[in-house]
Structure 1
Amino acid sequence: MRVLVIGSGLGGLLSAACLLRAGHEVDVFERLPITGGRFTNIEYKGFQLSTGALHMIPHGPTGPLGTLLRYLGSDVQIVRADPMATIRIPIEKDSTDYTHGFQDIDFHDFGKRFSLLNKIKLTVLITTTRIFPPKKGSMADWCSKNLKDDWALRIADSFCGWALSLRAKDVPAAEVFEIIENMYRYSGSGIPLGGCKGVIDTLIDVITSCGGKIHTSSEVSRIIIEDKKAVGIVTDDGKEHRGDIVISDIGHIETSRLYDANMATEDMEKYLTSIKELKPSAGVKICLSSNEPLIGHAGVLLTPYARRINGINEVTNIDPSLAPPGKHLTMAHQCVEWENLDRLKDEIDLGLSDLAEIFAGKDYEVLLIQSYSGEWPVNRASSGTDPTNKTPFEGLYIVGDGAKGKGGIEVDGIALGVRNAIKDILNQKNQSID
């Protein structure tokens, strides 16, 4: 088969590498002059800052992305973070901020802050919910109904904000428990050496060594549909490229703008109606420079008592090359609720105030503030609302952060979605990705 891939983000490059490894011909078309999309590095003041995603893989070397990279023969090294995560809490139990000091507890000890009754409830609920996950309602609803505890909602908001760029009220409880199941299945996070670009560079090596082609500064202006099948693309220079399969890494909504959506079929109308309801998740990342470690480990520091910051990591505790010699790179992330997108500066100011409290007495510099929304969001489809990788047209697939696999966090979710799409494509040729 000849495969045409739109977009060279992580989803597009993973798809291209998988199909080349299976012996097919692949061309990747990227509108930007660089590859990697929101998963690569930009050099700034000697630091390797990421264009979007943090320099972190949620499930480390044994998760969906780490496993897929090994399958492709990638030589990128992913180092497991230890501890996986800690939680920063006020020293005074009834305090709602860090002004009286704080302490860090291990993520696995979050249940110790519940009342005895809720500890018992939590033990029973986690066991039963793994077998019978909730069918409806948000994670916030689940916490209110089952635990009725402010701590439960705070920790849910912090985790969902960090991992999904959403408040707990905006995430289906079923999706959160599938994520928890994946944490049991794959374990905790890891840092790829070289950061995001370390992963992208190794995928480009795989693609080029297998004869694949990546066309940068080449924007796709149209997807060619004939007899309800995707048969090619047209680039902005007017050139037509024919193929057997088209894979898009730009999400369902942006992809639909590249073909004639006026094909009046019931399936098409249902599909277009469903994707119009998708809401991208939005967030802000604040990058900090310091001479001394601000956290002291490379896992996640969750901040449930902050006003806006959901979590922070310090990747230079594993990979010092991501900062100039003698410096540390710390990245804080906060979700931005949909109703606050028109007040982005205020949201950023609240995040900066949080950091001043969280790192009170520490010496650091704000390197760069990056915001992600609109056409450059955190996720093109918020977690729990991801459509499948399929479209109403034969041979047209969607990958990337707009079509993640169930229970997939960030780039591991992208890898799950890619695996689902590639498995379906290869089945047509009696091939397997396993």
Structure 2
Amino acid sequence: MQPSARPHLMPTAPEHYDALIIGAGIGGLIAAAQLAQAGQRVLVVENMSFVGGRFSAFPVAGIEFASGAFHTLPHGGAGPAAQALRRAGVQMSIPSAKVIASFHVNGQHVVARTGFEVFKILPGIRDKWKMCDVLLRSWRGGSYDGSYGQWLIEQDASERVRAIFDRFCQFALSTTVYDIPFDEGREVIRAVLKYGLPGVPVGGARAVANGLHRAALRAGVTVRKNTHVDALLTQDGRVCGARLRDRRRDVVSEVRADVIISNAGPGSTHDMLRETGLNHHTLADDISPPPAVGLKVQVSSAKSLIDHDSIMFCLDTQRIAGILQVTNVDPNLSRDGRHLLISHQTIAPGADWQHERDLALEDWRYLFGDDFVDCEVVGVSHFPARFPVNWARQGHDVRTQPFADVGVWLVGDGVKPPGLMMVEGVAASAEQVAAQILGHANVTPWEKSFTQWARALPGVLWRWARQ
């Protein structure tokens, strides 16, 4: 066997940028667009052949097959992600759900079109009161050292009340309510009350990713796909650039940058930094947070199985936490008038994903009976620790910038701010970093002041209950 040829090293002098961003996911592209809008020269490199990372999609068998997410922004057009997209120059329709949610419980599908109607699935006055009590206690604050689930047990919440919170956590966060710290659970509830219901962007996840890509290019960002970071470069105790390899041409080049922004996850970034030989206090220990892992099933159906635009939470299934029929918002996400439905469930570390898949399919058959016989399972996606739903389980994020003093910043779903779920946290982390690099006083542009929010809370709760 002939030895493999070495990559060709470009002899030209290294290019220089104000910022080099590793990863063209949503966080990387938002940071890139906003820095470029401020006049910075920005290069984004992406190892894959597409942008958006786990918030994109591919046309498969006539449907928009989501790469990771559910084609959904957790807080629709009002949340931090939608705000960040608008500030980055993306204009698109993101209608928020018109229904609070629905619940499959005891073999019945119960739709809650208003906040008050959630109480329909609670069997007695005690459970209804306990649900109100838990929400109010979460709003008021307080501290507790354990998980949100353990706190619910200590509040004497019934199994039904705990199941509602648990299935929400499993679907929205890909973790159980018993694995989310109490403080984080409380912040998630506050965010839901503050920013509102989920929404499916028209065009789905791929439209978001492509729209953001175009906005970044318009702002002057250079984006190079199929480009791998072979190594970070250092000078005088700081990271000053990277050695890049064009995977298509097998050509290696070097770039210099004043700052590096990594969208590759805290663990991978830590590993790249250790390989540089830098003597930095944060590199001695592994900072990788526990990841959120899960399994998603995408199903095509000739008939509508869920008659609203929100999530059906499943309280009586073995594994599936919830299902969303995204074509109720955008019929173009599937072909020939068919419907696209997506289920999600979390998976315990070390569990056999194929067994979990089989249990999920049993759940689909239980939920929809003979209607499922005529459905087509378009795909099953497993998100293990090496390619997870999120690089950090909700509430276990890296909440500092441990490498900023050597010129490396973190964005993405391993550094989500408190209470912000999935892509909402990704977008917020990117805006935070861009603002800090640019020296802006307000590094949380998506936030109203706490005082403003507190004054508005009674009206927020009333609107939530009645909408």
Same fold by TM-score greater than 0.5 = yes
Q: Which AA in structure 2 matches 1:258?
A: M
* Equivalences for residues 171-210 of structure 1 within 5 A: 171-210=180-219
Q: Which AA in structure 1 matches 2:343?
A: A
Distance in structure 2 (CA, Å) of the matches to 1:51 and 1:128: 37
Partner of 1:243: 257
Partner of 1:292: 303
1:398 aligns with 2:407: no
Distance in structure 1 (CA, Å) of the matches to 2:238 and 2:404: 5
Contact 1:229–1:393, Cα closer than 8 Å, also in 2 = no
* Equivalences for residues 414-433 of structure 1 within 5 A: 414-427=426-439
Distance in structure 2 (CA, Å) of the matches to 1:248 and 1:409: 19
Partner of 2:80: 64
Partner of 1:110: 118
TM-aligned CA distance change 1:70 to 1:87, over 3 Å: same
* Equivalences for residues 339-378 of structure 1 within 5 A: 339-340=350-351, 343-362=352-371, 363-378=374-389
Q: Could you tell me how far 1:226 is from its partner in structure 2?
A: 3.0
Partner of 2:271: 257
TM-aligned CA distance change 1:117 to 1:137, over 3 Å: same
TM-aligned CA distance change 1:431 to 1:111, over 3 Å: closer
TM-aligned CA distance change 1:38 to 1:326, over 3 Å: same
Q: Could you tell me how far 1:389 is from its partner in structure 2?
A: 5.3
1:328 aligns with 2:339: yes
TM-aligned CA distance change 1:389 to 1:25, over 3 Å: farther
Aligned residue among 31, 53, 58 for 2:69:
53
Partner of 1:152: 161
Distance in structure 2 (CA, Å) of the matches to 1:103 and 1:357: 16
Contact 1:60–1:78, Cα closer than 8 Å, also in 2 = yes
Deviation digits for residues 253-300 of structure 1, max 9, x if unmatched? 01112123654444443xx34x14x21111111111111111012211
Distance in structure 2 (CA, Å) of the matches to 1:250 and 1:367: 28
**For structure 1, which segment, 304-313 or 365-374, has the greater mean C-alpha deviation from structure 2 after superposition?**
365-374
Deviation digits for residues 360-404 of structure 1, max 9, x if unmatched? 131322111111113211001111000025123422111111111
Distance in structure 1 (CA, Å) of the matches to 2:175 and 2:390: 10
Partner of 2:55: 39
1:18 aligns with 2:29: no
Contact 1:401–1:413, Cα closer than 8 Å, also in 2 = yes
Distance in structure 2 (CA, Å) of the matches to 1:24 and 1:333: 39
Contact 2:299–2:342, Cα closer than 8 Å, also in 1 = yes
Contact 1:228–1:393, Cα closer than 8 Å, also in 2 = no
**For structure 1, which segment, 412-421 or 115-124, has the greater mean C-alpha deviation from structure 2 after superposition?**
115-124
Q: Secondary structure at the match of 2:19?
A: strand
Distance in structure 2 (CA, Å) of the matches to 1:114 and 1:390: 47
Q: Which AA in structure 1 matches 2:202?
A: L
Q: Secondary structure at the match of 1:235?
A: strand
Q: Secondary structure at the match of 2:227?
A: coil
Q: Secondary structure at the match of 1:204?
A: helix
Deviation digits for residues 386-432 of structure 1, max 9, x if unmatched? 0025123422111111111111111111112112212211117x797
Distance in structure 1 (CA, Å) of the matches to 2:143 and 2:313: 25
Q: Which AA in structure 2 matches 1:139?
A: Y
Aligned residue among 305, 320, 328 for 1:317:
328
Q: Secondary structure at the match of 1:54?
A: coil
TM-aligned CA distance change 1:226 to 1:431, over 3 Å: farther
Q: Aligned residue pairs: how many?
A: 418
Q: Which AA in structure 2 matches 1:110?
A: V
Distance in structure 2 (CA, Å) of the matches to 1:264 and 1:212: 32
Q: Secondary structure at the match of 2:296?
A: strand
Distance in structure 2 (CA, Å) of the matches to 1:213 and 1:283: 33
TM-aligned CA distance change 1:135 to 1:18, over 3 Å: farther
Q: Secondary structure at the match of 1:244?
A: strand
Structure 1 vs Structure 2: percent identity of aligned residues? Answer: 29
TM-aligned CA distance change 1:133 to 1:228, over 3 Å: farther
Distance in structure 2 (CA, Å) of the matches to 1:125 and 1:165: 22
1:142 aligns with 2:158: no
Distance in structure 1 (CA, Å) of the matches to 2:311 and 2:102: 6
Contact 2:141–2:186, Cα closer than 8 Å, also in 1 = no
Distance in structure 2 (CA, Å) of the matches to 1:88 and 1:107: 16
Q: Which AA in structure 1 matches 2:140?
A: I
TM-aligned CA distance change 1:118 to 1:330, over 3 Å: closer
Q: Secondary structure at the match of 2:388?
A: coil
Distance in structure 2 (CA, Å) of the matches to 1:54 and 1:349: 21
Q: Could you tell me how far 1:73 is from its partner in structure 2?
A: 2.2
TM-aligned CA distance change 1:267 to 1:33, over 3 Å: closer
Aligned residue among 39, 45, 70 for 1:29:
45
Distance in structure 1 (CA, Å) of the matches to 2:215 and 2:165: 39
Distance in structure 1 (CA, Å) of the matches to 2:29 and 2:170: 27
Distance in structure 1 (CA, Å) of the matches to 2:170 and 2:144: 22
When normalised by structure 2's length, the TM-score is: 0.85
Distance in structure 1 (CA, Å) of the matches to 2:156 and 2:431: 36
Q: Could you tell me how far 1:147 is from its partner in structure 2?
A: 2.6
